[in-house]
Structures are given as structure tokens and as C-alpha cells.
A and B are shown apart, each in its own frame.
Chain A
């Protein structure tokens, strides 16, 4: 049972290849780097330029640069849409992290039936990519006003729509988004759970620790980077989902739909900068979440390498 050194990262592994650094090697490295030019140029053209131009058009006015559109995009109804999106995305991510991690742990620890683990991972691969229109329609037929489960619940005396429940509300969106968030979390966190070595648990109990001690002192601390990374990934995933929300919510409630509304051209001239400012805020928030995810993933790879 070997525990990998704390500092092992992919970068380190790459560096052990080949000769020690020398002037000749450096000269050789300038050459191979040119092989990346087509790929980088492609991304520059079709990803970086569109993303940057969103910021440019959000900041540009007739007489120079101004933050007024960015400010307007963060106030009033726009602010409400931003907050609504952040709220339900955080909620959906939290539910996804907890249930996804539990499901991954169940798949990793249950020995019978033996096909369970394969079934869970294969299904997760499919369902993690299932967001979109069909999923939204499936939930409409289940939990919509005319949905089957709504009907079954009402015959049992529970009127789901008596309160202010609807599929486009925070609880509704969390329910629907869990359908692809939970499987995504399973895929992300299973390697980390597999990395929990039985020897650690044995060491813990032979030192007198209980199951609770094990999770409190060993299991959860080891899993923390992976759970945090999973939260950020699921947050970004929910925050930027558009197609599912297009079916379930009205036009301007969540930020992604609101941008679609601005882009639809139903706004007066001059207001389109606000739409681009909303898109800029969206990129800022998603990019931050993904950056944290990236750092957390690097950390969690320590234990799975």
C-alpha cells in the first residue's frame, strides 16, 4: 500500500521525462510549441473572441468606456434574476453534491448485486448529459399541473399546487436539475471515493476510533477537495443551463433566459448593452466557479494518483 507523495501533480510527472533542462532542450521546446498553433488559433477565433466581444460591447458606449450597463445589469429586475439564478443553482448544487456523493459511496461499498456499480456508473454517464428539452418535458408529464405524480398525490390528499409550487420555482428547478447533477457528481466523485483506502479505516478502528471518528477525521477531510470541486462544477452546470429552463420558466425569471430575451431583439436600441452586461456577469460567475473547481480537482488528485 503506497501513499503517493503529497506533491505529485501532472506537471511534475511530465517534467521527469527526457533530459535535464539545458539550453539545447529549451531551444528544442520553442520548436514543438508551434504544433499547438492551429488549435490555439481555432479557440481564439471561436471561443475567446466571442467571449471578449461580450465584455467589450457591455463596456462600450458612444463616448468611451463606461460601467453603467454593468451596473444596470446588476440592479432592479436584472439583479433579481441574477440572485434567483445563483440561489437555485447553489441549492441544486448542494442537493447534487450530497445525494451524488451518497450514491457514489453506495455504488462503491455495496458488494451485492455485483452489477450495481457498473449499472450506476453507466447510467450516470448517460443521465449526466440528459439535460435539455426532453428532460424538461419528462418532468412536466410527471410533476406539471397535469402530471401523473401530481395526480397521484392529489388523490392521496396532497395538492402539490395548493401553495406556490411550480416546476419553475426554486424547489421545482432543484428537483429537475438534480436529474443531471446527481449523476455528474457520481462521475466526478467516484474516483475520490475509490481512493479511500481500507487500511485507513482499519488503522482508525485499531486506534480505537468509531465509524464517526473515521469520517470526521479521515474520510471527509480527504474527500473535501473533491466535494468542493463537485459543488462548483454542479453550480456552474445549473447556472448556465438554458434549454431545460426554457421549458420550465417564464421568459425573464432566470438570468440565462433573460439574456435570451435581450438577444431576441425585443428591446429598444441602447438597451442591448444591458443584455451583453448580463452575459458578462454570467461569464464572470461561471468562470469563477470553474476556476475553483479546477484548483480543487488538482488537489483531490493527490489521493487518486
Chain B
């Protein structure tokens, strides 16, 4: 009896958890969508007005704003700069650690968690202190780029590290080198193609972090997209909510594409698979 009861409970509790969580996660998005697309004050909302005044004027109003385009342009520029700097700094470092300094992997993993230890608002405080000493640099809007690289670091390094762990880098490099390719050729033709997925996901994560970054931009009075999102809600609520819905939707699309790209793939060139799966070449301790 007790066993029957507990098995019923064991079966229904997970389902209930999934159901309640689905409602909790869907509700705010639906509410935001209603405000973006329906122009009826909540006071008047009821069964009789449920289908009144639905339109996309909120969304189109966003696109007519000159300030929206300029803030979007700035945010995209910041994202591009952050991506370039991140890849330029992290790919060589991660490759170096995996090829020449495997003992430092745990250390690097720890270092890349450090940005979590300094909250963004505390980082702004630090930037404001050093600002008088580097005004020539920190007065520019693009001065945010190097700090955004740091903010995105836990995500980006981890994604590169995971990608590097999945391939037997040393064997690939040895194979390329013994077939007569020089270092640059080995990197471009053998190693980087293997890291394509890891690099793409690092890029996507960086873009997502930069496009949503509010704390630094707002405190340093830089009109990138997130501060504008806040400003715009204050001025035109419906269009402002529509803008925030758009921001959410584009982040979601970004992550959905990322999930598609990084989906584990079975098809891998058979040569690479043969080299990688050959036990004789495994330099890693199988555990």
C-alpha cells in the first residue's frame, strides 16, 4: 500500500513540477506580449474588451525612432569589437594551454570564474576611479569593449575549453605536422575547423552579453541599447514594452540558432574520427 502510494507520488511530482514551471515561465512573456500588441488599459480589460485594439503599431513606432537606431548601432559596434577582441585574446590562449601547458588548465578555469567575483556595479566603481588616469581612452563609448570582454569571459572561455576538450588536439597537431604542414598551416587547416562550433558559440554568447548589458553603460552614461530601452518605456509605454519584447525575442532567436549550431553531430570526417578514436593516440587519461 505504502509502496503503491509512494510510486504514484514519485510519478506525479515530476509532472506537476514541469507543469507549474511551464506556467511560471510562460506567463511574464505572454503578459509582455499583450502590452506590446494590445492598446487597452488593464483597468478596462475584461471579457468584452479581450479582442479589442490588437495591432503592431507599438512595434512599428519603435522603428520610427531615430534614437533607437543610433543606440542599436552603438550596441552592435560594441558587440563586434568585443567579439574581435575576445576571439583574438582567448583562442590563442586556450590553444596554448591545451597544447603546451595542460597543467595550467585548472588554473585557467579558476581565473575565468574571477569576473563573477566582481559584480558589474563594483566594476563600474573601479572604472570610475581609474578614469581620471586614462581619460583619453575611457571617455570614448568604445572604452566599454575591453570590460565587456571580461564580463563575457566565463561564458566564452568555457565554450572554447569544452570544444578543445572534445577533440584530441595534440594528435591532430602531430598528424598535421608529420604530414609536412607548418604551424600556421596546421592551425588554419586542421585545428581551427575543429573549433568552428566552439568559436561560433563563443561569438553568440558574447553578442548576447553585450546586447543586454545595462549596468556599465547606464552608470557611465553611454546610450547603448539597454539604457535606451529603459528610457523609451518611460516615454512611450506601449512601444517601450514592444522594444523590450523585441530584445527578448532576438536574444531567444540567438540562443535557438546557437543550440542548432552546437547540436552534437554524428557526421565527422572519417579520417579525423579514425585518428581521434584510435586508442594508441590517446594522450588523455581515460577515466
- A residues within 8 Å of B by Cβ? 4, 8-11, 13-17, 29, 32-33, 35-36, 38-40, 42-43, 45-47, 49-54, 56-57, 99, 102-103, 105-107, 109-110, 116, 120, 122-123, 125-127, 129-130, 132-135, 137-139, 141-142, 146-151, 178-179, 182, 210-212, 236, 239-240, 242-243, 246-247, 256, 259-260, 263-264, 275-276, 279-280, 282-283, 286-287, 290-291, 294, 305
- What is the distance, in angstroms, from B172's C-beta to the closest C-beta of chain A? 16
* CB of B271 closer than 8 Å to a CB of A: no
- What is the distance, in angstroms, from A56's C-beta to the closest C-beta of chain B? 8
Complex Cα–Cα for A4 and B286 (A) = 11
* CB of B70 closer than 8 Å to a CB of A: no
* CB of B182 closer than 8 Å to a CB of A: no
Complex Cα–Cα for A141 and B114 (A) = 35
- B residues within 8 Å of A by Cβ? 2-3, 6, 10, 13-15, 17-18, 21, 24-25, 27-29, 31-32, 34-35, 41-43, 45, 89-90, 92-93, 96-97, 100-106, 108-111, 113-130, 146-147, 149-150, 208-209, 212, 214-215, 218-219, 226, 229-230, 233, 240-241, 244-245, 247-248, 251-252, 255-256, 258-259, 283-285, 287
16 contacts between A and B (CB under 8 A): A13-B287, A17-B283, A17-B284, A43-B114, A53-B129, A53-B130, A99-B17, A105-B14, A109-B14, A130-B251, A134-B248, A148-B31, A211-B10, A246-B230, A286-B122, A287-B117
Residue of A nearest to B102 (CB): A14
Contact flag A33-B123 (CB < 8 Å), given A46-B149, A134-B248: no
Residue of A nearest to B111 (CB): A43
- What is the distance, in angstroms, from B142's C-beta to the closest C-beta of chain A? 14
User: Which chain A residues lie closer than 8 Å to B29 at the CB level?
Assistant: 138
- What is the distance, in angstroms, from A105's C-beta to the closest C-beta of chain B? 7
Complex Cα–Cα for A110 and B32 (A) = 31
Residue of A nearest to B94 (CB): A39
Asked if B214 and A11 make an inter-chain contact with CB atoms under 8 angstroms apart, the answer reads: no
User: Which chain A residues lie closer than 8 Å to B96 at the CB level?
Assistant: 32, 35-36
Asked if B42 and A138 make an inter-chain contact with CB atoms under 8 angstroms apart, the answer reads: no
8 Å CB contact of A4 from B105, B120, B252, B287: B287
From A4, A133, A212, residue with most partner B Cβ within 10 Å: A133
User: Which chain A residues lie closer than 8 Å to B113 at the CB level?
Assistant: 290, 294
Contact flag A242-B111 (CB < 8 Å), given A126-B255, A260-B121, A263-B128: no
Asked if A50 and B127 make an inter-chain contact with CB atoms under 8 angstroms apart, the answer reads: yes
Asked if B17 and A106 make an inter-chain contact with CB atoms under 8 angstroms apart, the answer reads: yes
Complex Cα–Cα for A137 and B245 (A) = 9
User: Which chain B residues lie closer than 8 Å to A210 at the CB level?
Assistant: 2-3, 6
Contact flag A239-B287 (CB < 8 Å), given A38-B89, A110-B18, A130-B251: no
- Top 6 closest A-B pairs, CB basis? A50-B126, A240-B119, A106-B14, A243-B214, A138-B28, A142-B31
Given contacts A13-B285, A15-B103, A133-B244, 8 further A-B contacts (CB under 8 A): A10-B105, A16-B285, A105-B14, A125-B258, A132-B212, A141-B31, A147-B31, A279-B121
- What is the distance, in angstroms, from B128's C-beta to the closest C-beta of chain A? 6
User: Which chain B residues lie closer than 8 Å to A294 at the CB level?
Assistant: 110, 113
Residue of A nearest to B103 (CB): A14
Contact flag A141-B241 (CB < 8 Å), given A43-B111, A122-B259, A259-B121: yes
Contact flag A243-B21 (CB < 8 Å), given A57-B129, A134-B248: no
Asked if A133 and B14 make an inter-chain contact with CB atoms under 8 angstroms apart, the answer reads: no
Residue of B nearest to A8 (CB): B287
Residue of A nearest to B253 (CB): A126
8 Å CB contact of B119 from A9, A107, A242, A263: A242
- What is the distance, in angstroms, from B73's C-beta to the closest C-beta of chain A? 19
Complex Cα–Cα for A54 and B129 (A) = 7
- What is the distance, in angstroms, from A213's C-beta to the closest C-beta of chain B? 11
From B2, B128, B285, residue with most partner A Cβ within 10 Å: B128
From B10, B14, B258, residue with most partner A Cβ within 10 Å: B14
Asked if B104 and A36 make an inter-chain contact with CB atoms under 8 angstroms apart, the answer reads: yes
User: Which chain A residues lie closer than 8 Å to B18 at the CB level?
Assistant: 103, 106-107, 110, 116, 120
Complex Cα–Cα for A33 and B120 (A) = 30
Contact flag A263-B43 (CB < 8 Å), given A35-B96, A134-B248, A240-B121: no
User: Which chain B residues lie closer than 8 Å to A135 at the CB level?
Assistant: 28, 248
User: Which chain A residues lie closer than 8 Å to B283 at the CB level?
Assistant: 17
Residue of B nearest to A276 (CB): B125
Complex Cα–Cα for A15 and B129 (A) = 42
Contact flag A148-B42 (CB < 8 Å), given A33-B101, A36-B96, A182-B21: yes
- What is the distance, in angstroms, from B112's C-beta to the closest C-beta of chain A? 9
